Amino acid sequence: MANLQSDFVGIKSPNPFWLASAPPTDKEYNVRRAFEAGWGGVVWKTLGSEGPPVVNVNGPRYGAIYGADRRLLGLNNIELITDRDLYTNLEEIKRVKADYPDRAVIVSIMVPCEEAAWKAILPLVEETGADGIELNFGCPHGMSERGMGAAVGQVPEYIEMVTRWCKQYYSKPVIVKLTPNITDIRKPAAAAKAGGADAVSLINTINSITSVNLDSMSPEPSIDGKGSHGGYCGPAVKPIAMSMVSEIARGADTRGIAISGIGGITTWRDAAEFITLGCGNVQVCTAAMTYGFKIVQEMISGLSEWMDEKGYSDISQFRGAAIPNVTDWQYLNLNYVAKAKINQDLCISCGRCFAACEDTSHQAISMSEDRVFEVIDGECVACNLCVNVCPVEDCITMEAMSPGTVDPRTGKVVEPEYANWTTHPNNPSATAAE
């Protein structure tokens, strides 16, 4: 069996699956149930400082985007950080960590951007025995209007400053949680690294309004006829999260910093993809809120079986394996040629490929009178839109054409302009050599 044990910046857990800081980790009862279900770690829902209590709305807190059969694709929330007493949370964290010493317990923190506030709370957190802290610089709603959360995460100078305070007043690993609501994710990540952060976690939720009630004319969720922007998460944000993770993993100023991947992770495959992009572990929220804590058991078994099939005995063996293949557009091989092929045995004659290609693409699919669809090779530019709109898996595939094959579009033999890709001017290594 593959070894799923995780050692993330010195924080050990039996597997790389952690619950993200969110409603599922708001109290001792939830966290104990999570650990009994098999989760390797949790990031306790964000704690605030002493002072005026946090007050959450007593109405709907979530808006949703659905796919087919009401499958939850995206969740928007307007919930704030914990509204439970600071010391109650600290006592519960201490008890849980004592009872589950082999599990990772991380404490998320958000206090005003003042040194005194951080200096006051950090010793209290350290006394709990928790394994580390996560600085919540990502929350895009409610707290950001108070100068915290994403309001800090959008200013690299603040990130570096607060991270330095935390490294000064706290002895265990410091993870900085980044907001995606920014133009270039590499800048806040570089600031966290410059401040001494042991790791970054991303992405936090994306600022959003999921829908508008056309009767009350207010955004959903609606609170007494009014709505607000919130934080968007779930499967729909996974592509955004993976892009940002890859940018940090390969960025000149951020390369080497440990990454905890967050964003739409629902299956073992999602987790594996994040790990190949450089993540040391992953954090999950929406999937647990949708299917319950026991979903981690499928993640554990699925990742373990896949690793066995591939011959990986440890997650470190494939961590970052996809990074060398992530490049800028200008470095893509323009000599590569492919064509779409339709498997007539699988085709159900729905016509989606034809409609999409004829109306919005390259008019490269023909339709006969008896609704047989075929690719017109001479017009196909291999955009693969037909593959994506086809409802039958593997009915339409993209087939690469090897050098020496006649390209029907041009009537010419497919022959690379540069016989060896290593000498191609679009290849960054070739450019560097010159």
Catalytic-residue membership of 139: yes
d(CA 124, CA 107): 11
**Cα R_g (the chain), whole angstroms:** 25
Distance CA 46, CA 423 (A): 52
Q: Between 28-37 and 86-99, two packed helices, what is the crossing angle to 10 degrees?
A: 20
Q: Which among 236, 260, 242 has a CA at the least distance from the CA of 18?
A: 260
Three-state secondary structure readout of the chain: CCECCEEECCEEECCCEEECCCHHHCCHHHHHHHHHHCCCEEEEEEECCCCCCCCCCCCCCEEEEECHHHCEEEEEECCCCCCCCHHHHHHHHHHHHHHCCCCEEEEEECCCCCHHHHHHHHHHHHCCCCCEEEEECCCCCCCHHHCCCHHHHCCHHHHHHHHHHHHHHCCCCEEEECCCCCCCCHHHHHHHHHCCCCEEEECCCEEECCEEECCCCEEECCECCECCCEEEECHHHHHHHHHHHHHHHHCCCCCCCEEEEECCCCCHHHHHHHHHCCCCEEEECHHHHHHCCCHHHHHHHHHHHHHHHHCCCEHHHCCCCCHHHCCCHHHCCCCCCEEEEECCCCCCCCCHHHHHHHHHCCCCEEECCCCCEEECCCCCCCCCHHHHHCCCCCCEEEEECCCCCEECCCCEECCCCCCCHHHCCCCHHHHHHC
Closest CA to 113 of 57, 175, 188, 163: 163
Closest CA to 113 of 52, 57, 154: 154
Q: Which of 139, 166, 233, 279 is catalytic?
A: 139
Separation CA 183–CA 186 (nearest Å):
9
Q: Which residues are catalytic?
A: 139
